[in-house]
Amino acid sequence: MEVVHSYLGGTRTQGSGEARRLYNPASEDVLAETRVGGYDYSAALSWARERGGPALRELTFAQRGRMLAGIAAALHAERDALIEIAIKNGGNTRGDAKFDIDGASATLAHYAELGDKLGARRILADGEMIALRSGPRWVGQHVRTPRVGVAVLVNAFNFPAWGMLEKAAAALLAGMPVLSKAATSTALLAARIADIVVESKLLPEGAFSFTAGPASPLVEVLGAQDVLAFTGSAETGARLRAAVAPGVRLNIEADSLNGAVLGPDVALGSETYEMFLRDVVREMTQKAGQKCTAIRRIFVPAPLVASVRGDLCERLGEVVVGDPALAEVKMGPLASSDQLVEARRGLAALEREARRVFGAGGRGRLLGVAEGRGYFLAPVLLETENAEKSPSVHTVEVFAPVATLLPYGGSAQEAVRLLGLGEGSLVASVYSDDDDFAAELLFGGGAHHGRLFLGNSKIAEQALGPGAVLPSLLHGGPGRAGGGQELGGLRGLELYMQCTALQGPRPLVEKLVGGHG
Cα 103-104-110 angle, rounded to 5 deg: 85
3-state helix, strand and coil shares in percent for the chain, rounded to the nearest 5: 40, 25, 35
8 A C-beta contact, residue 185 and residue 338? yes
38 Cβ neighbours under 8 A, 6+ residues apart: 15, 16, 17, 213
Helix (H) or strand (E) holding 53: helix 53-58
Sign of CA dihedral 328, 330, 331, 335: positive
CB count within 10 Å of CB 423 equals 15
Q: Which runs of consecutive H residues, i.e. helices, occur in 145-304?
A: 162-174, 187-200, 216-219, 234-243, 271-285
Sign of CA dihedral 365, 368, 374, 380: negative
Q: In angstroms, rounded to a whole number, what is the distance separating the alpha carbons of residues 314 and 310?
A: 6
* Residue 435: closest CA among 443, 423, 424, 427: 443
Q: In angstroms, rounded to a whole number, what is the distance separating the alpha carbons of residues 163 and 181?
A: 11
Q: In angstroms, rounded to a whole number, what is the distance separating the alpha carbons of residues 156 and 186?
A: 9
**Catalytic residue (choose from 33, 292, 383, 486):** 292
Cα 139-145-149 angle, rounded to 5 deg: 150
Q: Give Cα separations from 411 to 298, 308, 388, 431 (angstroms).
A: 15, 18, 15, 13
- Concerning whether 313 is annotated as a catalytic residue, the answer is no
- Concerning whether 353 is annotated as a catalytic residue, the answer is no
> b vs e for 96-116, b when ≥16 Cβ sit within 10 Å of the residue's Cβ?
bbebbbbbbbebbbbbbebbb
Q: In angstroms, rounded to a whole number, what is the distance separating the alpha carbons of residues 215 and 208?
A: 17
Q: In angstroms, rounded to a whole number, what is the distance separating the alpha carbons of residues 171 and 62?
A: 14
**Catalytic residue (choose from 33, 166, 253, 486):** 253
Cα 296-96-307 angle, rounded to 5 deg: 40
Instruction: Indicate which residues carry an active-site annotation.
Output: 253, 292
